[in-house]
Chain A
Amino acid sequence: MCCLRLSLLILFCGTQWLFSQAPTEVVLDSTEVENLNEVIISATRTKRQLSSVPLPTQLISAKAIAAANSIRLNDILEEQTGLLMVPDYGGVEGLQMQGLDNQYNLILIDGVPLIGRSAGTLDLSRVTVGNIKQIEIVKGPSSSLYGNEALAGVVNILTQTPKTGFGGCFYYRGGSFSSNDLSTELSYKKDKLGLHAFVNRFSNEGYDLVDSDDVNTVEPFHNYTFNTKINYEFSEKVKLFVSGRLYHQVQDNVASASYDGESQIDEWNFHSKLELKFNESWDSQLEFYATTYKAEEFLNDTAGNLFSYSDFKQRFLRPEFRTVLKPNAQNSFIAGVGMQFESLQRTDFFGYPKFNSSYLYSQYEYTKNDEFNLILGLRFDRHNEYTSQLSPKAAARYKFNDKLAVKGSVSYGFKTPDFRQLYFDFTNATVGYTVLGYNAVTTLIPELEANGDIASLFVPLSVFEDNLKPECSIGYNFGIDLGIDPKLKINLNLFRNEISNLIDTRVIARKTNGQNVFSYYNVNEIYTQGLEFNASLKFNKNTVLTTGYQLLYAKDKKAVQAFKNGEVFARLTPTSPAFVLSKKDYFGLLNRSRHMLNFKLSYHMQKWNLDSNIRATYRSEFGLYDNNGNGYLDAYDNFVSGYSILDFAINKTIFEHYKLGFGMDNFLDFNDPQNISNIAGRIVYGNVTINF
């Protein structure tokens, strides 16, 4: 059905392209003009010139995405300085930013959050880049504007908007592992009405990097993304925006030679916004967002009988009203109020939990002649399940001259305990241990006791009467922008995030089967700190080199103390005597690399209208688990060696409207399936783009 609809669409736009006489927009292909006009929305929730924002930000343009021939969000993010895609359970990969895990990043599409962390991880390969206009990354806590989850940073994906006239684009990329990515985009805008439609199909026959087992590294899958947008201007002062997005994925689900089935993801979101412009200095927006994420999977045995089934259904609804007041050029105020309703139904859950919250935020901004900029923000979140949160932020930037500017910010971020940490009710069928959500403990432990399943209780139930606290962080960022020469731009940022109340599991009781009952509690305090460096050097009109580096220390404070106290020991061989480790032997948290480096060299050959680039990312050694039993990652553990990924891409434009591309991702064919399951090895591809 979907296929039929898709081919009709392609046929339709194909004919449209043949007969379309609409004039195409003239695009200014000058980097300088572009730099001046680069605008970021996510940092302040108003349109701001990127260079003047007092926060550490990164911008990825549609042009940069096209130059890299990326197809999914994870492809392009992992090439950015300080960002890392980390494989997680269930074959998904999450984003690590400033050394913090994916649970602490907020991912937005057009300013509203993406949901569906079924195993805790938000899978970014779910998002196609086919209809992306710009990706904005704001690092450091941003809860003062965005509330929950904006602890390490925010990634906002802005999708394409209707352009004047009728136009469209057809894109196909085929590559290794029988991967096929097909997108079609149609845009119409005349007078008051703007329409935009996008459809994408992505499929992959999967691949297997480990021969010794019965499962593939990635099982075959296919997915569809549909996105439609309508803009309507009732008048100069009243504008309406409505967007609908659908995502559907089916993937083989194989557990072993004797159990296989299927997994399916269905997601939809509805997003509407009414913009009211009262006068030149005052406008307001009324926004409504609703989304549902549903994941189902089953396994059958060889006889075709159902062996296991699980589902996960999350709903999210959010009305918000915000208003922007700009009495003069120096001062601007933004304020917002909203409510959030969230619910989750899933297997192994205690009840049908619902989260309701309401919030209020405001931000004041002072700007003086592009020289000095100050932001003060505050947000209050009230929630039915956890303690209220007050999230402040202060940021400032001062420009000494055209060559030097400094900026700094201090801000607060938080992440509420998720549904799993509060309502999980899971007993492992083969081993027999149990995991209970914090709020489920006081009801379910007495039930287990009544059944005679509990041998002894280690943590009294009274402990669970107080709420589990949200994880929270204070982030400090200090940056310097250097424009030594119009051709050389350097940007340096020092960061430190102090996170407390980190949630972990602990044993709360022992069962009569000898296994444990686990639950969640606030325990850890960690910090991540380091330095980020970005530079771009323009050799001439056609050759640009950009490079980035991140130095990172991510450590647990208790662990640092334990090493300092001489309480941690190691052995060189299993039978050699134990010796005490010193503070410098402590490496830090798992799966963090001390150094990350990237290079990109782009070259434009004018004569042939050819764009080519070579890109490299390097990640230094990291540890995946403690090998020597002391519970910490130290210098005597086994580390996964550092590695580099090199890509190249060539795109040639023919007759303005056509583009042909060829490239190889990871052309050195690096892979390490045991430790880094999300790196597939060399991918060779070709693509074609037709604009009309």
Chain B
Amino acid sequence: MKSSYQYKILIFLFVFAFTSCNDDDGTPLPAEQYLQITNLHAPMTGGQGQEPSSGSYTKFDFATASVTTSETDWDIAFRATTIIVNGGSSTGDADEPERNGNAAAYIKSLPFSEVTSVVVSDFTQDSLEEGLAIPTGSGNGWYTYTGPPEHLILPIPGKTLVIRTRDFKYAKVEILSYYRDLDDSVAGNARYYTFNYLYNANENETTF
């Protein structure tokens, strides 16, 4: 309980800090967007049995804060537990969208609010040789898989995805749930992401 209380104070300070910052700049609209996306559906076909996984990725654009079908205006894309970025080269996976942007990512082992700046040298992009910028597999990236008997995919608390968008803007993302309406009691609820993110619309600005 003590930790949670401390935490509330932290958030408060954080929000306060960047509101006052905006006041100083005198900008009418905040350049930073703090939003929560709920139930982003990331279906997949195949992957069961010997069939290779397939199906199109659900693409997301930070600038418009929405899911998109655009072939160019997307930053990250989801298919089941896999998250790819619009930057780098194909990993050889079926139905991957073409990467035509400059997006990149890395995972920071800190709570969302404590990630206040971007380390540009930490970014990696997807590729066949190096794998995905956001690695898959239990404990490797953003989730752990509990195994039998529950078979749950649980986001690892304190893992923040730091994203460079296709056009050199920065965002940080914390995934909260992999299940529809945060309800992991039914297996059929899987592949619905809920996540918080903070997007800095100012190009090349590396602080949040």
Physical interaction between A and B: yes
Which residues of A pack against B, CB within 8 Å?
89, 427, 429-432, 455-456, 458, 507, 510, 512-516, 567-572, 574-580, 625-631
- A512-B52, A516-B137, A577-B11 known; A567-B109 Cβ under 8 A: yes
CB neighbours of B6 from chain A (8 A) = 579
- A selection of 14 A-B contacts at a CB cut-off of 8 Å is A455-B91, A507-B137, A512-B52, A514-B53, A514-B80, A569-B156, A575-B36, A575-B196, A577-B7, A578-B174, A579-B7, A580-B111, A629-B154, A631-B139
Min CB distance A413 to B, Å, is: 27
CB neighbours of A579 from chain B (8 A) = 3-4, 6-7, 111
- A567-B109, A576-B4, A578-B112 known; A629-B156 Cβ under 8 A: yes
Check if B194 is an interface residue, CB within 8 A of chain A: yes
Q: Which of B10, B82, B112, B144 is in CB contact (< 8 Å) with A514?
A: B82
SS class, residues of chain B in contact with chain A: loop
CB neighbours of B139 from chain A (8 A) = 631
- A432-B48, A513-B52 known; A626-B111 Cβ under 8 A: no
A309 to B159 CA separation, bound complex (whole angstroms): 43
Query: Are B136 and A510 interface neighbours, CB within 8 A?
Result: yes
Q: What is the chain B residue whose CB lies nearest that of A518? A: B137
Min CB distance B193 to A, Å, is: 12
Query: Are A574 and B7 interface neighbours, CB within 8 A?
Result: no
Query: Are B157 and A575 interface neighbours, CB within 8 A?
Result: no
Check if B143 is an interface residue, CB within 8 A of chain A: yes
Query: Are A455 and B93 interface neighbours, CB within 8 A?
Result: yes
Q: What is the chain A residue whose CB lies nearest that of B139? A: A631
Number of interchain pairs (Cβ within 8 Å):
114
Q: What is the chain B residue whose CB lies nearest that of A511? A: B52
Min CB distance A638 to B, Å, is: 11
CB neighbours of A455 from chain B (8 A) = 91-93
A211 to B51 CA separation, bound complex (whole angstroms): 34
Instruction: List B residues 115-169 near A (Cβ within 8 Å).
Output: 128-129, 131, 136-137, 139-140, 143-144, 146-148, 150, 154-159
Check if B86 is an interface residue, CB within 8 A of chain A: no
Min CB distance A381 to B, Å, is: 33
- List 8 other contacts, CB 8 Å, given A432-B49, A571-B157, A578-B158: A507-B140, A514-B93, A569-B158, A574-B194, A579-B111, A630-B156, A630-B157, A631-B139
Query: Are B44 and A574 interface neighbours, CB within 8 A?
Result: no
Q: What is the chain B residue whose CB lies nearest that of A513? A: B52
A290 to B146 CA separation, bound complex (whole angstroms): 40
Check if B50 is an interface residue, CB within 8 A of chain A: yes
Query: Are A515 and B137 interface neighbours, CB within 8 A?
Result: no
CB neighbours of A431 from chain B (8 A) = 48-49
Query: Are B7 and A575 interface neighbours, CB within 8 A?
Result: no
CB neighbours of B48 from chain A (8 A) = 430-432
Query: Are A456 and B44 interface neighbours, CB within 8 A?
Result: no
CB neighbours of B92 from chain A (8 A) = 455-456, 512
Kindly list the 10 A-B residue pairs having the minimum CB-CB distance in the complex, ordered from nearest: A569-B158, A629-B154, A514-B53, A578-B157, A569-B157, A578-B111, A514-B47, A579-B3, A578-B158, A513-B52
Q: What is the chain A residue whose CB lies nearest that of B153? A: A629
CB neighbours of B80 from chain A (8 A) = 514
SS class, residues of chain A in contact with chain B: loop
Q: What is the chain B residue whose CB lies nearest that of A427? A: B50
Min CB distance B179 to A, Å, is: 9
Min CB distance A635 to B, Å, is: 10
Check if B56 is an interface residue, CB within 8 A of chain A: no
A576 to B157 CA separation, bound complex (whole angstroms): 10
Q: Which of B47, B94, B109, B146 is in CB contact (< 8 Å) with A626?
A: B146
Min CB distance B71 to A, Å, is: 23
Interface centre among A89, A574, A577, A579, by most chain B C-beta atoms within 10 angstroms, is: A577
CB neighbours of B158 from chain A (8 A) = 567-570, 578, 580, 630
Check if B63 is an interface residue, CB within 8 A of chain A: no
CB neighbours of A458 from chain B (8 A) = 131
CB neighbours of B67 from chain A (8 A) = none
Min CB distance B80 to A, Å, is: 7
A427 to B48 CA separation, bound complex (whole angstroms): 12
Query: Are B148 and A89 interface neighbours, CB within 8 A?
Result: yes
A429 to B48 CA separation, bound complex (whole angstroms): 8
- A456-B131, A513-B47 known; A625-B91 Cβ under 8 A: no
Q: What is the chain A residue whose CB lies nearest that of B137? A: A507
CB neighbours of A572 from chain B (8 A) = 4
Instruction: List B residues 78-115 near A (Cβ within 8 Å).
Output: 80, 82, 91-94, 109, 111-113
Min CB distance A112 to B, Å, is: 34
Query: Are A514 and B44 interface neighbours, CB within 8 A?
Result: yes
Check if B200 is an interface residue, CB within 8 A of chain A: no
Min CB distance A454 to B, Å, is: 10
Min CB distance A347 to B, Å, is: 18
CB neighbours of B156 from chain A (8 A) = 569, 629-631
A515 to B81 CA separation, bound complex (whole angstroms): 11
Check if B201 is an interface residue, CB within 8 A of chain A: no
Interface centre among A429, A580, A629, by most chain B C-beta atoms within 10 angstroms, is: A629
A135 to B42 CA separation, bound complex (whole angstroms): 57
CB neighbours of A626 from chain B (8 A) = 144, 146, 154
Contact with A along B27-43 (1 / 0, CB 8 A): 00000000010000000
Instruction: List B residues 45-68 near A (Cβ within 8 Å).
Output: 46-53
Query: Are B47 and A574 interface neighbours, CB within 8 A?
Result: no
- A507-B137, A513-B46 known; A570-B52 Cβ under 8 A: no
Interface centre among A429, A507, A578, A625, by most chain B C-beta atoms within 10 angstroms, is: A578
- A577-B111, A578-B157, A630-B158 known; A625-B146 Cβ under 8 A: yes
Query: Are B157 and A432 interface neighbours, CB within 8 A?
Result: no
Min CB distance A14 to B, Å, is: 48
Query: Are A575 and B49 interface neighbours, CB within 8 A?
Result: no
Query: Are B144 and A629 interface neighbours, CB within 8 A?
Result: yes
A629 to B159 CA separation, bound complex (whole angstroms): 10
CB neighbours of B53 from chain A (8 A) = 513-515
A568 to B159 CA separation, bound complex (whole angstroms): 9
CB neighbours of B11 from chain A (8 A) = 577
Q: Which of B3, B36, B82, B143 is in CB contact (< 8 Å) with A629?
A: B143
